[in-house]
Chain A
Amino acid sequence: MGDHMKKNNITLRIIVYTILIAYSLLTLLPFGWSVLTSFKTTAEIAGGGTIFPETWSLGGYKTIFESQYPTWVLNSVIVSLVVTILNLIFNTMAGYAFARIQFKGRTLVYSAMLMLIMVPTQVTMIPSYIVISDLGLVNTHMSLVLTTMINIAYIFMMRQFFINFPRDVEEAAAVDGLSKIGTFFRIVIPNALPAIATQAIFVFMAIWNEFMKPLLFITSPDKYMLTQGLNALSKQFMNATAWDVIMAGAIFSIIPIFIIYIILNKYFIQSNDKTTGVK
């Protein structure tokens, strides 16, 4: 019987690794393609032909560095960091309240919030602009911060995580005389790091890649966000897209996300010796 189990295990392992390796290769393909494309000339990309560049060109990168690229990166980094921090605090608190605090009107407020994310953005774009314009916030980074400082989708996600969260620890904390806020910051947050890290990376990415809002709200080039600036650079000709610039820009623009991702990576898969969710 032991032998049988082992054989089974080996087969299972082979299947697992095959799936993982195959899927990894599949995901690496488009990315590798983008990297290689960034070194081609605009003409060669249009030709569509080979995988490796026939002539290695730094034209795309040159265009980027001759622009206001550093300013745009700085704008994007500052806005994205501020927005991410605000989101982490506010979304997590709200998600926790919906999952764990019994208060009057909870279901009502929660359902109402959920309904709001079901409205497609195509119709709210112009009204959003009207609100920002009435507040006199056009062409300020504050407009981006205020409109993205909370995200209902992640309030929802945090709620789902907290529902799964073992109750006994908080109850013990309550017995020890900690207030709800105290429990939240001292007990709940340290134990919810995987979920918070997940939220952090996605919120950061969402604002980093946000396209429509900067387009509508920000009008002067020195205040551009990175995506907006790169879009401006790629519009070199009315009828031929400069893909080398787009790809070079795209590769540079993912570096900060990648750094944050590497930092947070450890929370996604915690050390395997952990026995229960909470200790």
Chain B
Amino acid sequence: MRKIAVSFTIFMLVIFLAACGSSGEGGGASESGEDSITLAVWGSSPAESEALEETVTSFEEAKGIDVQIEVIQDNFQDALTARFAADNAPDVFYLESYVAPSFIESGVLADISGDINNQEDFYQPQIDAFKDDEGNLFAVPKDYSTLAMYVNEDMLNEAGYSVEDVPNEWDELLQFSEELQSNLDDGQASMIFDSTMARHLSGLLASGLDPVTEDNQADFTSSNEANEYLQSIVDGQDAGYLKNPKIDLGIDSAGAAFGTNQAAIMIEGNWVISALNQNYSDVSYEVLSAPTINGEEQSISFNVGYAISKDTANKDASVEFVNYMTGEGLQQWSEISGTLPPRESVAEEMNLTENENIAPHVNAAEYATVWSSGVNLPTIATSFDNYFSAALNGDMTVEEAMQAAEDEANAEIERQQ
């Protein structure tokens, strides 16, 4: 019996020694000085992965700095938070504009206000999303996506309409959808919609409501027009000419519903283009600007930037990398990945506005609302989503739902103080 106990002890020791042995290798790489940086990114499409690899290789050849790419497949934010908590943050990493304010407030990002070349060349809303209240810059956009209106030509023609018939004003668009719906099959939707705040922030703003007040509180109740805007969505769903792809059609994405001729109109980001071209090549469509609301041009922009961790041991190399990826290397990245360049000069160089499907997205870069609004936006948006769905299923009126959402969000913000 003692023999066995001893062999177990030895066994355990072997495991721990093996563990420590491999730790030596792991620790070495990240501290090998100025000439190597780590870059954390999330998993994305094959085109984006290829674009990243090629642009990074160009950078390595041009500058002689080694870049180690670490792909975090899923739950990027959680994994990144874990790495910061363990003082093991990557030197450079992707940062969404949506969470940028909380990263900036936590003080974990390097201030790069003076380090980035040619800042005035960026579309200003795109780069402003990564600044704090004093205007200091903490990340640089690498690309952005805006919402535009996709119209399915075949479905429209079959129902006896053409693309020119589609109005570009919200209320008229709804009327048109209602009319169109009566000429469609049961399982088809005239227009599909998304019920989250991330898709309606610009609509609310155009209706005179800023859901995030100056002192970072929630406000969903101060504008009647905003309620009317939300009511128009509820009415559309009740009448059946607005459908939710998941709930009403059982399809997990808008692009898939559109691509399989189950939806005639959708308001989506340019990310659907690659899916439409590759997986649903049969569908013929046109892209128009997102409809105006109360006479205002509106769209939402989702953008992603490169941020540098404050505690990096390789700040110079990191800055050089970010400058390259959002400067010299930007066109290479944008062309291979199919994403939109946040620099006007690059967009011009690539003649993007000459492509009819892409032009509406690029034009929106000037006026789109960036999906980012202070540290409390995640809390405020969660409350909106939680209660707007109650208005959609008829459990509450829009007024009740918005009051409840506002109360819940503000109570939660109060608790966070």
Q: Within 8 Å by CB, do A and B touch in the complex? A: yes
Measured in the bound complex, the distance between the Cα atoms of B85 and A142 in whole Å is 21
B45 touches A219 (CB 8 A): no
Q: A46: which B residues are within 8 A, CB to CB? A: 251-253, 256-257, 259-260, 279-280
B1 touches A180 (CB 8 A): yes
**Across the two chains, which residue of chain B brings its CB closest to A243?**
B252
Asked whether A136 and B1 contact (CB < 8 A) given A238-B44, A239-B253, A240-B256, the answer is no
Q: B255: which A residues are within 8 A, CB to CB? A: 237, 239-240
Chain A positions 218 through 262: 1 when the CB is less than 8 Å from some CB of chain B, otherwise 0:
011100000010011001111111000000000000000000000
A138 touches B73 (CB 8 A): no
**Across the two chains, which residue of chain B brings its CB closest to A131?**
B86
Measured in the bound complex, the distance between the Cα atoms of B255 and A136 in whole Å is 43
Interface size on B, as a range, is 35 or more
A138 touches B15 (CB 8 A): no
Chain A positions 118 through 142: 1 when the CB is less than 8 Å from some CB of chain B, otherwise 0:
0000000110011001111111101
**Across the two chains, which residue of chain B brings its CB closest to A132?**
B86
Q: A48-B250, A221-B71 are in contact. List 4 more A-B contacts (CB 8 A).
A: A46-B279, A134-B86, A135-B20, A240-B255
B253 touches A135 (CB 8 A): no
Report if B318 contacts A (CB, 8 A): no
Q: A125: which B residues are within 8 A, CB to CB? A: 78, 82
Measured in the bound complex, the distance between the Cα atoms of B88 and A136 in whole Å is 10
Asked whether A130 and B85 contact (CB < 8 A) given A181-B4, A232-B73, the answer is yes
Measured in the bound complex, the distance between the Cα atoms of B1 and A182 in whole Å is 7
A142 touches B72 (CB 8 A): no
B1 touches A142 (CB 8 A): no
B260 touches A129 (CB 8 A): no
Among B270-278, B289-297, B380-388, the stretch in contact with A? B270-278
Q: How far is the CB of A150 from chain B (nearest CB, A)?
A: 12
B274 touches A215 (CB 8 A): no
A179 touches B1 (CB 8 A): yes
Interface residues of B in 252-270 (CB under 8 A from A): 252-257, 259-260, 262, 268-269
Q: A37: which B residues are within 8 A, CB to CB? A: none
Asked whether A136 and B86 contact (CB < 8 A) given A43-B280, A235-B44, the answer is no
Chain A positions 45 through 73: 1 when the CB is less than 8 Å from some CB of chain B, otherwise 0:
01110000000000000000000000000
Report if B114 contacts A (CB, 8 A): no
Report if B43 contacts A (CB, 8 A): yes
Q: Is the interface of B mostly helix, strand, loop or mixed?
A: helix
A133 touches B88 (CB 8 A): yes
Q: A134: which B residues are within 8 A, CB to CB? A: 86
Report if B18 contacts A (CB, 8 A): yes
B45 touches A129 (CB 8 A): no
A235 touches B88 (CB 8 A): no
Q: A239: which B residues are within 8 A, CB to CB? A: 253-255, 268-269, 271-272, 275
A237 touches B274 (CB 8 A): yes
A41 touches B279 (CB 8 A): yes
Measured in the bound complex, the distance between the Cα atoms of B20 and A261 in whole Å is 35
Report if A216 contacts B (CB, 8 A): yes
Q: B278: which A residues are within 8 A, CB to CB? A: 237
Report if B417 contacts A (CB, 8 A): no
**Across the two chains, which residue of chain B brings its CB closest to A140?**
B22
**Across the two chains, which residue of chain A brings its CB closest to B28?**
A136
A237 touches B85 (CB 8 A): no
**Across the two chains, which residue of chain A brings its CB closest to B252?**
A241
Q: List 15 A-B contacts (CB under 8 A).
A: A41-B279, A48-B251, A126-B78, A126-B86, A129-B85, A134-B86, A136-B26, A136-B27, A138-B88, A140-B23, A145-B15, A180-B1, A216-B79, A236-B275, A238-B269
**Across the two chains, which residue of chain B brings its CB closest to A41?**
B279
Measured in the bound complex, the distance between the Cα atoms of B124 and A37 in whole Å is 46
Report if B19 contacts A (CB, 8 A): yes
B1 touches A181 (CB 8 A): yes
A137 touches B253 (CB 8 A): no
Partner of A47, one of B22, B254, B260: B260
B253 touches A126 (CB 8 A): no
Measured in the bound complex, the distance between the Cα atoms of B26 and A220 in whole Å is 12
B73 touches A228 (CB 8 A): yes
Q: How far is the CB of B243 from chain A (nearest CB, A)?
A: 13
Chain B positions 82 through 123: 1 when the CB is less than 8 Å from some CB of chain A, otherwise 0:
110111100000000000000000000000000000000000
Most buried by A among B27, B46, B269: B46
Report if A148 contacts B (CB, 8 A): no
Report if B70 contacts A (CB, 8 A): yes
